[in-house]
Amino acid sequence: MDTFIIKGITGRVLHDTRRGKKSGLYPVKYCITRAEKRMYYKTGYDLSKDEWTLINKKYPPEDLRQPKEIIENGLKIIETAITEILENGEYSHEKLNRRLRNKSDFIIDAYKNRIAELTRDGQVGTASIYNSAMVNLKGYNELVRFNDITPKWLKDYENYALKSIRPATVSIYLRTLRTIFNIAIQDKVILKTSYPFSQNRHDKKFKIRQGSGSKIALTIDQLAAVAEYETLFKATQRSRDLFMLSFHLGGMNLKDMLLLKWKMIKNNELMYVREKTAKTTEREIKITIPLTDEALKIIGKWGNADKSPDAHILPFMPDDPTPEDIRRITLNYLRIINKHLADIGNNLKIEGLSSMVARHTYATLAKNAGVSISFIKEVLGHTDVRTTEAYLKSFEASQRREQFTVAGNMLQKKLNAIQKKNGQ
C-alpha cells in the first residue's frame, strides 16, 4: 500500500492486528502521524493476514483489486486535505477532521445535510432514522465518497451491518442511502452513471432485500376476540379500544389518530392527510373515512371533552404540538399500547399483536371480502396501487403458509395420539 510524508506528517495504511474479530479478520485503517500523535480512520475493510499480504502485491487477486483501489483513493484524499491545510497555515489533526467532513462528495456530509433538511421540515422521526443509518455507516467507513460506492461495496456493507442489526433495519438503512444517491444525482453532485442500486430485476447492480419484519394480519375470529377481550384495567381497555379504533378508521396509524381534530369530521365522515406523506408527495392526498357506529362509540368513550373545532379528538396532544412533541408523545403511547397488546396477545394466543396489526388486518380482511384494490389504496393513503398490491402480498403469503401447514399439523396430532396410546 502507498504511504506519504508531507512536512513531518506521515500517512499510511495499516492492518490493525492488535485485536482480531471472531471472524478471524482484522480492520484496515488509515494512520496519520504527526509528532508521535496518531489519528486513525476506518477504511471499511476487514482482512485476514493472508489477504493483507495479497492486497499489498503489485497485482493482487481479482477480488481484492477494487478494495485496494478504494483504500488507496481514500489515502490520496487525506493526503490532498493535508496539503491544502499546510498551504493555508499550520496543520493539526482537528483541522484534518473538519476538512475531511466538509467535502461535498462525502456520503456522511450528504447525510448531515439531509438530516438538517428533514429536521427543519418537522420530520423528526424520519430525521432520526437517517441519523441512525449515518451512525451505522460511519462505523463502517466514515470517509466513503459517492464514487467509492459500487454494488460490491454495498454488498460488503450489508454483510457488515447484518452482523449486528436485524435484516429489516438494514434494508431501511440502505433505502436511506439510495435516497441520498437520488438527491445527489438530482443536485448534480454525481452523474447518473455512478448509480449503484438496481433499477430492474435484470441488471447486475445492488438489490436491496425486502425486510420481512413481523407483519401479521388477524383472522376475523382473532379480531373479534381482541374486540371482546375483558380486562379490569382501564389502561389496557384504552389500548385495546385504540387498536380497534385504528381498524375501524381503515388502519390509521397512531400518530395520525393523535393529530385528528374535531373540525375534520363533516357529515359523519372524517377527512385527513397522512403525516407520513404530507411532505413527501407532490400533491396533498386527502383520505376520507366514513365513521361507523363502532368508531363513534370508541371516540365517545375516550374522546376529548373539548369539542371545539381545533381541539384534538383524542386528548393526548397539546393544542399546538411541535414536531418534537408529536414524536415524543406518539412514541410514548406506542410503547404503552404495544405493551398492553402483547399481554392481550399472550392471553389470546395471538403472536405478534401490536398497533400496526390493525392496519394489516383492515387491508387483508377488506381484500378477502372483495373490496377493490383501488379503494384499499385510497384508504391506506398509498400513492401507487403497486404499493398496495405489494403490501397485501406479504400477508397473503403468510396466510398461505398458515393454511398449508393445517394438514401437516393434523397429521402430527394424530401421530402424537398414537404414540401416547402406545406408551411411547
List the chain domain ranges: 3-101, 107-194, 220-387
Give, for all 424 residues of the chain, the pLDDT tens digit. 789 999 999 999 999 998 877 778 899 999 999 988 999 988 878 899 999 999 999 889 888 887 888 888 888 888 988 998 899 889 998 888 877 765 557 898 889 888 888 877 777 778 889 999 999 999 998 888 888 899 999 999 999 999 999 888 999 999 999 999 998 888 777 777 778 999 877 788 999 986 554 568 888 999 999 999 999 999 999 999 999 999 999 999 999 999 999 999 999 999 998 877 665 555 667 889 999 999 999 999 999 999 999 999 999 999 999 888 888 999 899 999 999 999 999 999 998 899 989 998 998 888 888 888 888 888 888 877 777 777 676 555 555 555 555 566 667 777 777 777 777 6
Find residue 136's DSSP bridge partners. none
* pTM (two decimals): 0.57
Range 220-387 classified under CATH 3.20.20.70? no
Give first-to-last CA distance, the chain, whole Å: 67
